Amino acid sequence: MAPEELLKQKSFNVVISADDCGKRRNRTEIRRILLDGGYPGEQIYEFDKRKEGIQRYDPSQYFAPDFIKYQEEEILIDGGCYNLDSALEMRRHCKNLKKVYAFEPDPISYKHCLAVQQETGFEQVKMIQAGTWNSKTTLSFEIGNDGGSSLAKTGEISVPVVTIDETVMPEDRITYIKLDVEGAELESLEGARITIQKYKPKLAVCLYHKPEDLITLPLYIKGLVPEYKLYVRHHSNVPEETVLYAVIP
C-alpha cells in the first residue's frame, strides 16, 4: 500500500519496524510522514528489535566456530571495530593476541573505542580513524553512532579511507581479518589483496549487506587464494549477521 493511500484511509493500526543495521532514524522519518499527513498518533506503534528480545549481534560469531584454529600468536585486522567488542572477544579466544589494527571511521565510535581501550588496558590495539577501502581517498559517510554507520553517497560528513595493504607494517604477519564494514566488504578485500595472498590469514567477512555479496565475495576470495576452504554461518533470527569464513585446511 502506498503511503498516500494509507494517509487517505487512516483506518489501520500501523506498526513501524525499520531498525535494520541500526538505522533507527528510518522509524523516526516514517512516523514523521504519517503524523504530518494527519494520521492518528494513537494508531502508530514502533517495534524495536533490540527491546523485543530478538537476537541481533554476538561478537563471538567471528571467532567461535569450531573450524577456526588459533595459532600461538595472532595479529588481527578489525575492519569496522565500532566499540572494540570484536577485538576483546578475540582476546578471549586466542592465547596471545600480539596486535590489533582497529579501523573505525565514525568519529563518535572512534572516541568510544579509545575510551574502551584505556578502560580495558588493551595495549595491543592500534586505533586507526579511517575506513577500509581499495584506495586511499576521502568518501562521504553517514553517521549513525552505532553499528550501522556507513559510507554513503549523501552522508553528513567526509571520512578518510585507506587500504589494509598500505596500513599494515611490513614486520607484522597478519593472521586474521574480520570485516563488518556495512557494504564496503568487497572494496576492503581488494585493498587487502597483497596481505591476503602473502599471509593467507583466516577471514571472517559479513555477507549480508548487499545481495550480490553472496556471490561476489566468495568468488573474489577464492580467486585470491584457491586453497581457502569457505564456510557460511548465520548468527541471528533476523536477516542480519551472516558471516563468510575462509580458512586454510
Q: What angle do CA 182, 219, 22 make, to 5 degrees?
A: 15
Sequence spans of domains, the chain: 12-53, 59-247
> Can you identify the CATH homologous superfamily of domain 59-247?
Vaccinia Virus protein VP39 (3.40.50.150)
Contact 63, 91 (CB under 8 A): no
Return the pLDDT at 122.
95
For 138, residues 6+ apart whose C-beta sits below 8 A from its C-beta are 158, 159, 160, 161
Q: Cα(169)–Cα(171) distance, rounded to whole angstroms?
A: 6
pLDDT tens digits, 80-137: 999 999 999 999 889 899 999 999 999 888 999 999 999 999 999 999 999 999 999 9
Residue by residue, pLDDT tens for the chain (249 residues) are 888 888 888 889 988 876 554 455 677 788 888 888 889 888 888 766 555 455 556 878 999 888 999 998 999 999 999 999 999 999 988 989 999 999 999 988 899 999 999 999 999 999 999 999 999 999 988 776 555 666 776 677 889 999 999 999 999 999 999 999 989 999 999 999 999 999 999 999 999 999 999 999 999 999 999 999 999 999 887 788 999 999 998
Containing H/E element for 140?
A: strand 137-142
The pLDDT score that the predictor gives to residue 2 is 83
CA distance 233 to 151: 25
d(CA 190, CA 196): 10
pTM of the prediction?
0.78
